[in-house]
Amino acid sequence: MPKEVEGEYEVFPDNPHKTYGLMAVVKGKSPVVDKSPEDTVMTWPHLLIRELVASVVVMAVLLAISLVLNAPLEEHANLTETPNPAKAPWYFLGLQELVHYSALIGGVIIPGLSLFLLAALPYLDRTPDRAPSKRKLLTVVFTVFIIVNVVLIVIGSYFRGPGWSFIVPWRGGSVQ
Amino acid sequence: MTEIIRLLSRFITGNRVWKSVFRAESPVTERGQSESIFHNVWLHIYPVKVRKDALRFTYTFCLGGVSFLLFLLLIITGVPLMFYYVPSVEQAYGSMKDLEFVVSYGLLLRNMHRWAAHAMVITVFLHMARVFYTGSYKSPREFNWVVGVFLLALTLGLSFTGYLLPWDQLAFWAITVGTSIASYVPWLGPSFKYVLIGGNEVGQGALLRFYVLHTVVLPLAAVLMMAAHFWRIRKDGGISKPL
Amino acid sequence: MDHSDKTSPSEAKPMGRRDFLTTLGWGALFASIASTGAGMIRFLFPNVLFEKPTRIRVGRPDDYSPGSVTYLESSRVFILRNDKGFRAMSAVCTHLGCTVNKDAGSNSYSCPCHGSKFDENGGVVRGPAPKSLSTCEVTLAPSGHMVVDLKSFVPPNHYFRV
């Protein structure tokens, strides 16, 4: 460090737009510890333009679907007549399929437990590596969880007829 | 032609009003691009720079962003629907029919609201799967995963409460079945069902409660949770690196 | 917090004024929050319901022929009459509250929601329903009309005799 000289002088000119200053120049790959050299791009425009394109695509698809497909609206609600079969919205048909076996186990215990396990997942998983191949058991369990969800929803949507009886949709079974 | 565009853009961005609103330099320099982000209240949650590999479409498939976009679209389509929809047992179904047949673009708005809701359930679910398979829930992002699970539950809750509002057969029986499931919860179940539907059976009380939950309580909760979710992404070091 | 006194924890000293007031302040804050929350939860439980009356008049005994099963749609109840007397059987499925239908051509009942089946007495034949269809209490009003109480249940073998 140079000895302080009497009188003021500017090392770096004062710049009101600058909120940072050069502190020191050091040798090395990067000031970030444990990371490879920075390989970054500006958020504007690189990220934002991608998000704009994605947004436009999503909105166009949504508009197109909404122009072609009408949201369902059945008859006025009627307490005295339960439609047959009465189905929940599709994302709850897996739940309805479980409820068909038992309301307490299928409707409360299994969904509640899976939601709890889902939330607790990061604290239960102690495997250090992120790659799925390094945490095979968990990956299998999670994949089974997803597949069971999808299968139950498909069964509830297409394979359940009047009285929640099992039907085969391509053999004249009526699908709603 | 390019001269006209140049003059026009200078006319728009060169005056005092524009400069008072957008304090950023023109985003042609890196400094201007940085300022465009952190001098803008809506964009300052973004970092100024992002890792190149985080932009790869096949890593994130934009699922989180698309979920958020769908949420915004649901607000944009949902609020106008509230101008015509009356949450009463006598009028709810009639106002749905009005939206469908009488109100200009009412059917389109309702369709967009319904399909965006379905799409959001799918994208939120897929977003969760993406985060799982890339192991992105691991330290330091554990808590953000938990926030995400709450957001998944909120998404399903928003869908479920919205389902009753048309007051048609589908709505009525889906909610009758759904709330009866709640009554199987040991101890608290019957009280919970009573509070949820405001009585012993699905009726006016249930319709109003679901309406308030659907239009005020759950969206507000979702907005707050999303704010925490996005802020945590920054604080946890941006989105995780591709494997 | 002021930890100036260095006495060992075993020598339990009486609580100082500052600690006492701090504890009191926090306690009052939490108590007020908790009681406000409890009041808020209580607020959500309606005291008066504008629901249909649960005691309904279902006509005179002679309106029902022996051996008949009559469905009263608006009250979701079946009125059964056989040689043992009258029985008011609720049509609300004991599983998740859907309305059961009487099967055409037989005396059994089935629920359209989750496929529960009930026999002619309302007993569960199959499906997820945890218990048989409830039997409501039937009384006779002084006017000679039968009154069914939809919220008061009696054993299924309990028949009302005129």
> For the segment B55-102, what is each residue's pLDDT rounded down to a tens digit?
899 999 999 999 999 999 999 999 999 999 999 999 999 999 999 999
Tell me, yes or no, whether A79 lies in a domain: no
Asked if residue B49 belongs to a domain, the reply is no
Q: Determine, for residues C114 and A96 on separate chains, whether the beta-carbon distance falls below 8 Å.
A: yes
- Across the range B5-17, mean pLDDT stands at 90
Interface contacts B/C by beta carbons within 8 Å: 32
Substitution target from B176, B181, B200 for chain C, most C beta carbons within 10 A: B176
Q: What is the DSSP letter of C11?
A: S
Radius of gyration for chain C, computed over Cα atoms and rounded to the nearest angstrom: 29
Residue B102 lies in a domain: yes
Predicted local distance difference test score (pLDDT) of residue A160 = 87
Of C73, C74, C113, the CB nearest to A164: C113
CA dist B162 and A108 (Å) reads: 21
Instruction: Indicate yes or no: CB of B170 within 8 angstroms of CB of A146.
Output: no
Terminal-to-terminal C-alpha distance of chain B: 47
| Domain span holding position B181 | 60-235
Residue A4 inside a domain? The answer is no
E strand or H helix that includes residue B224: helix B218-235
Among C41, C49, C96, whose Cβ lies nearest the Cβ of B181?
C96
Residue B169's SS3 state is helix
CA A104 to chain C, closest CA, distance in angstroms equals 10
Structure tokens at A27: 């040798």
Q: Do B172 and A75 touch (CB under 8 A)?
A: no
The pLDDT score that the predictor gives to residue B132 is 96
B170 → chain C, closest CA residue: C113
Cα–Cα distance measured from residue A39 to residue B54, given in angstroms and rounded to the nearest whole number:
10
Find, in chain C, the residue whose alpha carbon is nearest to that of A78. Answer: C74
* pLDDT score, position C48: 87
Q: With contacts defined as CB-CB under 8 Å, which chain C residues touch B203?
A: 50-51
Number of domains in chain B: 1
Chain C interface disruption, residue of A101, A102, A164, most C CBs within 10 A: A164
In degrees, to the nearest 5, what angle opens at C-alpha B179 toward C-alphas B177 and B182? 115
To which H or E segment does residue B173 belong? Answer: helix B169-182
Residue C30 domain-assigned (yes or no): no
In this prediction the ipTM stands at 0.92
Interface test with A, best of C74, C94, C102, C113 (most A CBs within 10 A): C113
pLDDT band for position A175 (cuts 50, 70, 90): very low
Rounded CA-CA distance B33/A47 in Å is: 12
Beta bridge partners of C126: C117
Interchain CB distance below 8 Å, B180 and C96: yes
**Contact at CB, B177 and C46, closer than 8 angstroms:** no
| Alpha carbons B91 and B96: distance in angstroms, whole number | 9
Q: How many domains does chain A have?
A: 1
**How close does chain C come to B172, measured CA to CA in Å?**
10
Would you give per-residue pLDDT tens digits along chain C (162 residues)?
455 555 555 567 788 999 999 999 999 999 999 999 999 999 999 998 888 888 888 888 888 888 888 898 888 899 988 888 888 999 988 888 888 888 888 888 988 888 888 998 889 988 888 888 999 999 888 988 899 998 888 888 888 887
Kindly state the tokens that stand for B205. Answer: 């009380």
Element (H, E) at B227: helix B218-235
In a domain, B71, yes or no: yes
Nearest CA in chain A to B161: A89
The reply to whether C102 falls in a domain is: yes
Partner-chain contact A103 B184, CB within 8 Å = yes
Residue in A42, A59, A96 nearest the CB of B177: A96
CA A100 to chain centre: 28
Give the mean pLDDT of B216-224.
98
Domain-embedded: residue B18: no
Residue C148 domain-assigned (yes or no):
yes
Name the residue among B107, B221, B105, B100 with its Cα closest to residue B161: B221
pLDDT at A11: 59
pLDDT for B47 beyond 80: yes
- C99–A99 C-beta distance less than 8 A: no
- Spatial distance between the Cα atoms of C29 and C22, rounded to a whole number of angstroms: 11
A158: distance to nearest CA of chain B, Å? 17
Residue C67 has what pLDDT?
A: 85
In a domain, C66, yes or no: yes
Residue C46 identity: P
Which uninterrupted H or E stretch holds B87?
none
In a domain, A52, yes or no: no
* Residue among C146, C120, C122 nearest C135 (CA): C122
Inside any domain, residue C133: yes
Looking at the domain assignment, is residue A73 inside a domain? Answer: no
CA nearest C45 in B: which residue?
B195
What 3-state class would DSSP assign to C158?
A: coil
- In the sheet with C124-126, reading across from the earlier edge strand, the strands are C101-102, C109-110, C117-118, C124-126
How close A113 comes to chain C (CA, Å)?
A: 21
Which tokens belong to B200?
Answer: 């012993």
Tokens of B16: 């005092």
Nearest Cα to Cα of residue B138 among A146, A135, A125: A125
**Could you tell me which chains touch chain B, where touching means 3 or more CB pairs under 8 A?**
A, C
Residue A142: the pLDDT is 95
Cα B103 to the chain's mean position, in Å? 25
Chain B 160-199, CB below 8 Å of chain C: which residues? 173, 176-177, 180-181, 191, 194-195, 198-199
- Residue count of chain B: 243
The sign of the CA dihedral B1, B2, B3, B7 is: positive
The Cα A58–Cα B196 span in angstroms is 34
Does residue A176 register a pLDDT over 50? no
pLDDT at C53: 83
| B33 falls within a domain | no
**In residues, how long is chain C?**
162
Does some domain include residue C8?
no
Question: A7-52: per-residue pLDDT in tens?
Answer: 555 555 566 666 666 677 666 655 555 555 568 899 988 999 999 9
What whole-number distance in Å separates Cα of residue A91 and Cα of residue B118?
8
pLDDT of A63-100, one tens digit each? Answer: 999 999 999 999 999 887 888 787 888 888 888 888 88
Please give the pLDDT value at position A173: 45
User: Who among B181, B191, B204 is closest to C50 (CB)?
Assistant: B204
In this prediction, residues A128-138 reach a mean pLDDT of 90
User: At C146, is the secondary structure helix, strand, or coil?
Assistant: strand
Residue A65 tokens read as: 């679907």
| Residue-number span of the structural domain to which A102 is assigned | 90-164
Q: Write out residues 69-128 of B within 8 Å (CB-CB) of C.
A: none
Amino acid A57 reads: V
Contact residues on chain B for A30, CB-CB shorter than 8 A: none
Q: Residue C111's domain is classified under what CATH number?
A: 2.102.10.10
Residue with tokens 């479980």: A98
pLDDT number for residue A174: 44
**pLDDT (mean) for B33-47:** 90
| C100 part of a folded domain | yes
- Between CA B196 and CA B177 the distance in angstroms is 13
> CB C96 to CB B198 under 8 A?
no
Report the gap between the CA of B165 and the closest CA in chain A (Å). Answer: 11
Please state the domain count of chain C: 1
Chain A residues with CB inside 8 Å of C111's CB?
A: 82, 163
Q: Is A5 contained in some domain? A: no
Contact B123, B63 (CB under 8 A): yes
Range of the structural domain that residue C109 is part of: 55-154
What mean pLDDT is predicted for residues B178-197?
Answer: 88
B125: nearest CA partner in chain A: A146
Rounded to whole angstroms, the Cα distance separating C162 from C158 reads 13
B128 pLDDT more than 50: yes
| A38 is a domain residue | no
Would an 8 Å CB–CB cutoff place B201 in contact with chain C?
A: yes
C73 or B152, greater pLDDT: B152
Both tokens assigned to A40 = 């970054």
Q: Is the pLDDT of residue B33 over 70?
A: yes
Residue C22: inside a domain, yes or no?
Answer: no
Cβ within 8 Å, pair B150-A47: no
Average per-residue pLDDT in chain B? Answer: 93
Q: Within the 149-168 window of chain A, which residues sit less than 8 Å (CB to CB) from chain C?
A: 162-165
Q: How far is A5 from chain B (nearest CA, A)?
A: 34
Burial of residue C66 (CB within 10 Å: 0-12, 13-18, 19+) is: exposed
CATH at B218: 1.20.810.10
Residues 51-70 of B with CB under 8 A from C: none
In a domain, A129, yes or no: yes
Q: How buried is residue A52: exposed, middle or buried, by Cβ count under 10 Å (0-12/13-18/19+)?
A: exposed
Task: Please compute, for residue B181, the number of CA atoms within 13 A of its CA located in the half-sphere on the CB side.
Answer: 26
Task: Give the H or E element holding residue C62.
Answer: none
Show residues of chain B in contact with A54, CB under 8 Å: 62, 65-66, 69
Other Cβ atoms less than 10 A from the Cβ of A87: the count is 20
**B120 assigned to some structural domain:** yes
Asked if residues A122 and C153 have their Cβ atoms less than 8 Å apart, the reply is no
